[in-house]
Amino acid sequence: MVLCLNVILFLTLHLLPGMKSSMVNLINNGYDGIVIAINPSVPEDEKLIENIKEMVTEASTYLFHATKRRVYFRNVSILIPMTWKSKSEYFIPKQESYDQADVIVANPYLKYGDDPYTLQYGRCGEKGKYIHFTPNFLLTNNFHIYGSRGRVFVHEWAHLRWGIFDEYNVDQPFYISRKNTIEATRCSTHITGINVVFKKCPGGSCITSLCRRDSQTGLYEAKCTFLPKKSQTAKESIMFMPSLHSVTEFCTEKTHNTEAPNLQNKMCNGKSTWDVIMNSVDFQNTSPMTEMNPPTHPTFSLLKSKQRVVCLVLDKSGSMSAEDRLFQMNQAAELYLIQVIEKGSLVGMVTFDSVAEIQNHLTRITDDNVYQKITAKLPQVANGGTSICRGLKAGFQAIIHSDQSTSGSEIILLTDGEDNEINSCFEDVKRSGAIIHTIALGPSAAKELETLSNMTGGYRFFANKDITGLTNAFSRISSRSGSITQQAIQLESKALKITGRKRVNGTVPVDSTVGNDTFFVVTWTIQKPEIVLQDPKGKKYKTSDFKEDKLNIRSARLQIPGIAETGTWTYSLLNNHASSQMLTVTVTTRARSPTIPPVIATAHMSQHTAHYPSPMIVYAQVSQGFLPVLGISVIAIIETEDGHQVTLELWDNGAGADTVKNDGIYSRYFTDYRGNGRYSLKVHAEARNNTARLSLRQPQNKALYIPGYIENGKIILNPPRPEVKDDLAKAEIEDFSRLTSGGSFTVSGAPPGNHPSVLPPNKIIDLEAKFKEDHIQLSWTAPGNVLDKGKANSYIIRISKSFLDLQKDFDNATLVNTSSLKPKEAGSDENFEFKPEPFRIENGTNFYIAVQAINEANLTSEVSNIAQAIKFIPMPEDSVPALGTKISAINLAIFALAMILSIV
């Protein structure tokens, strides 16, 4: 049973697509459709484009040989920002956009260093989100620090495309092997070098010493650094140190170092990077080519972003009269036109039932008069059938009529109706090059609707009964250009059922990263409430200050003049009507400054579709610029077609569904399926009581910064890396609130109502062990009864002196008595201490420990990561003489070099 469940879990998490719509395809061994996008804030520089081309060209050859002649890069699009001058060689993009690019070129936020890295949300084998290169990395000669740019690109591409992880560990650079030797964390162990400590570098010279053992841990002292020899014979591994000339391959099962305490071993159960790559979708049906070199150099297309073109295609068929849908659509569309779409955009509108009508050809959004002209054409009556294809074709006509190309233009298609003929225009949609964002309103919207979003790289949403689902969807369809000033940010979106004659109060924090173009909007279902809004300095805005729409679409709006005051805003709504009614509060804003990025929250599910009982993962990333935001409350709300809501607190604890602790990516398993159909996701990220902080730590999954090499018996040092503050010195940020839609997903095979789960506890991935006198202390994060929900029933802990025996034959390793260990609630810290009987304990005794959790249905989790505990009796420290050094070169005495190398 457990085996079957683990297979289901693997297939679900590894084979189904995530929310990000990469346009990359692998066809006849060549990768097509790669998008490298330059951020609008990067100054124009032709050299940047040339260096990108050189990097990818070199990478293509390196990748071809590294994958044993299986894949190479065939064509790449470079997306030029609108801020750069137009040139004849620049073409118009189709569905390429900055926010869905595979590679982004952008300055770091704060002086974060130029380390190239890949943002990876998921598990082993899952694609990453994007690769981030800084302009400085692409324009400066970093060869000695990272290796050539082409090699670095292949290292990052392996993260992005195949979901493998780094084979070094900056937090644990050394470990004690099963042979009781201290080893640098690396793959393969055939990479040789020395271990030194850099103590002082006064006036251009450095003092180094050999690394001493720490008297408590038995490992080397904290500042010990592994320096590789420049000349190596080892060919592996690209995920450790591709900067070495000899390194041209990934670690295979034969060369993989299963003991190294790195993320690859932790996330992939000790599998080699090559094994994971060979199991990827890319390689399952790809055979090696007969040619010894790649067939061609990559071809490059230079695409310059154009002004934003958006056409609303809105359903006004008869079914839209039910449940106030037409009113709600108009309210949300008005909010989009006034508060979300950025100034200078071209906007058109089409309405459709069984026929379609162009209400507005493209109009440039410049001021309030333009908004009013468009909103005046919003439909007031719902009748007729539903022809989605006619609506789309009219949208294309509205764009072409205004001398704009449908390529790269966006269509927001909203419908609640079924349409059996929607397939008939799929080919037209593909040829158009347009991006289609779909909003399914209610449970009966055409089931093929999401196909339009999937094939064009658009967003997909499902909105149910109250207006907030629609406003959240429209608010998410903001600028895709990467410009921080253009993006609309949602601070609040709340639906409140208020009984007659009752008042409700609420607060919204406005932090100092936002406040420009701030709107408070209130909607109602029966009668306009009495509104009082107060800013942090006590200034009050009353009902009369809120502008009501002339079309009577039951909404009132207040635009805060200038920049909204920083601090907590309070609002009070009084329902003057005798009956209960639904009131909503929506607050949107934009970045306060073009130079300081705002705090942003984005969310998505691990895949678009799920089949019961396979779990999904909810992801939310909260960041300021590229810095993770930590210490906040992140709540996901998932709603079914029948209106049932599941609330999940997301965690950034490095356990369960969460890959890395404190990386600003909050996640959780979702298994609470209640019937089939569409589900919607929204996430509320909130910092209260001054708990939020920025992590200034370097990101995971990045190119390794090499401090120096050993060459001809000398240490050749690279320039010191930029100063990055210690992880403990995290920057505090003020209270804030963000709300974002994570789109929709579809569930099949789920029985209606509540049902018992058939899933085990989640795998423990953060087990740690250490000796305290003659006892071993264990710590880990508690799994749940079902994955990371509830409480496990019991634990199985096993111990062995052999790493391989425990890894390959866990069930036959020595069992630890856990009768006193009662599992805690999922997410809690677990601690357990035991004496490793019947083993004899001596100085240097090395133990390996792993854990399984069992739930009340007697389902067993996967075996945890393997933790190591070494009995080390402190010894007097040896006296090691310091070595005089120079920055450029260090002449080592032959006996000293031999001494160091003997340690490695």
DSSP string, 293-310: S-SSPPEEEEEE----EE
Res 885: pLDDT: 32
Q: How far apart are CA 90 and CA 306, in angstroms?
A: 11
Res 546: pLDDT: 96
Q: How far apart are CA 865 and CA 764, in angstroms?
A: 7
Res 201: pLDDT: 59
**Closest of 550, 728, 719, 588 to residue 142, by C-alpha:** 719
Residue 837 in this model has a pLDDT that exceeds 60: yes
**Pair (289, 313) in one structural domain:** no
Res 725: pLDDT: 53
Q: Calculate the alpha carbon distances from 170 to 173, 262, 291 in Å.
A: 5, 9, 39
CB contact at 8 A, 730 and 696: yes
pTM for the model: 0.91
**Pair (135, 213) in one structural domain:** yes
* CB neighbours of residue 225 within 10 Å: 19
CATH number of the domain within which 381 lies: 3.40.50.410
Residue 887 in this model has a pLDDT that exceeds 90: no
User: Which residue type is seen at 778?
Assistant: L
**Pair (140, 210) in one structural domain:** yes
pLDDT, tens only, 717-735: 887 776 655 443 457 789 9
Res 891: pLDDT: 35
Bridge-based pairing state of the strands 224-228 and 346-352: unpaired
> Does 838 sit behind a cis peptide bond, omega within 30 degrees of 0 on the bond before it?
yes
Q: Is residue 388 part of a domain?
A: yes
Higher pLDDT, 413 or 10: 413
CB contact at 8 A, 574 and 529: yes
Res 730: pLDDT: 53
- How large is the average pLDDT for residues 288-307? 91
CA quadruple 445, 448, 451, 456: dihedral positive or negative? negative
**Pair (177, 283) in one structural domain:** yes
User: Which residue type is seen at 833?
Assistant: E
**Pair (298, 411) in one structural domain:** no
Q: Is residue 558 part of a domain?
A: no
Residue 854 in this model has a pLDDT that exceeds 80: yes
- By residue count, the chain amounts to 904
Res 870: pLDDT: 87
**Pair (278, 359) in one structural domain:** no
Give the pair of three-digit tokens for residue 97.
């956009």
Residue 585 in this model has a pLDDT that exceeds 90: yes
Most confident listed range (82-91, 199-208, 750-759)? 82-91
Residue 7 in this model has a pLDDT that exceeds 50: no
Q: Is residue 565 part of a domain?
A: no
Span between the terminal Cα atoms of the chain, in Å? 45
Residue 842 in this model has a pLDDT that exceeds 50: yes
Give the pair of three-digit tokens for residue 268.
């992939």
Q: Is residue 83 part of a domain?
A: yes
Q: Is residue 339 part of a domain?
A: yes
- How large is the average pLDDT for residues 855-866? 94
What's the domain range around 783? 768-871
Q: How far apart are CA 563 and CA 771, in angstroms?
A: 57
Res 603: pLDDT: 96
CA quadruple 424, 428, 433, 434: dihedral positive or negative? negative
pLDDT, tens only, 624-659: 998 999 999 999 999 999 889 999 999 999 999 998
* Total structural domains within the chain: 3
Q: Is 881 exposed, middle or buried (0-12, 13-18, 19+ CB in 10 A)?
A: exposed
Please list, in sequence order, all residues whose beta carbon lies within 8 angstroms of the beta carbon of residue 100, skipping any fewer than 6 positions away. 20, 21, 22, 23, 35, 457, 480
- How large is the average pLDDT for residues 612-629? 94
**Which residue has tokens 């998932």?**
638
Q: Is residue 888 part of a domain?
A: no
**Phi–psi pair at 827, nearest 5 degrees:** 90, -10
Q: Is residue 756 part of a domain?
A: no
Residue 261 in this model has a pLDDT that exceeds 50: yes
**Pair (400, 472) in one structural domain:** yes
| Among candidate residues 462, 482, 502, the one where a domain is terminated | 482
Res 733: pLDDT: 86
875 band by pLDDT with thresholds 50, 70 and 90? low
- How large is the average pLDDT for residues 838-843? 83
890 band by pLDDT with thresholds 50, 70 and 90? very low
Tell me what percent of the residues of the chain surpass a pLDDT of 90: 71
- How large is the average pLDDT for residues 296-314? 94
11 band by pLDDT with thresholds 50, 70 and 90? very low
Res 738: pLDDT: 97
* CB neighbours of residue 501 within 10 Å: 11
**Pair (416, 445) in one structural domain:** yes
- How large is the average pLDDT for residues 463-481? 90
- How large is the average pLDDT for residues 544-563? 89
Q: Is residue 515 part of a domain?
A: no
**Which residue has tokens 């953060």?**
766
**Pair (255, 148) in one structural domain:** yes
pLDDT, tens only, 219-230: 898 889 999 999
Res 12: pLDDT: 37
**Pair (280, 364) in one structural domain:** no
Res 484: pLDDT: 86
CATH number of the domain within which 865 lies: 2.60.40.10
Res 592: pLDDT: 95
- How large is the average pLDDT for residues 316-324? 93
**Closest of 253, 267, 305, 259 to residue 35, by C-alpha:** 305
- 110-136 burial code (b ≥16 CB/10 A, e <16): eebbbbbbbbbbbbbbbbbbbbbbbbe
Please list, in sequence order, all residues whose beta carbon lies within 8 angstroms of the beta carbon of residue 380, skipping any fewer than 6 positions away. 326, 551
Give the pair of three-digit tokens for residue 15.
């084979």
3 state SS for 166-207 = CCCCCCCCEEECCCCCEEECCCCCCCCEEEEEEEECHHHCCE
What is the set of active-site residues? 156
Q: How far apart are CA 665 and CA 651, in angstroms?
A: 8
- How large is the average pLDDT for residues 786-798? 96
CB contact at 8 A, 20 and 457: no
Res 217: pLDDT: 76
Instruction: Give pairs for 458-464: CB < 8 Å, separation 24+.
Output: 458/21, 458/410, 458/411, 459/743, 460/608, 460/743, 460/744, 461/437, 461/680, 461/741, 461/743, 461/744, 462/641, 462/678, 462/679, 462/680, 462/744, 463/439, 463/680, 464/639, 464/641, 464/643, 464/680
Q: Lowest-pLDDT range, 74-78, 195-199, 232-236?
A: 195-199
| Among candidate residues 416, 449, 482, the one where a domain is terminated | 482
Q: Lowest-pLDDT range, 477-486, 604-613, 777-786?
A: 477-486
Res 373: pLDDT: 87
**Pair (286, 329) in one structural domain:** no
**Pair (102, 167) in one structural domain:** yes
Higher pLDDT, 454 or 202: 454
Q: How far apart are CA 713 and CA 12, in angstroms?
A: 52
Res 661: pLDDT: 92
Give the pair of three-digit tokens for residue 414.
């909203």
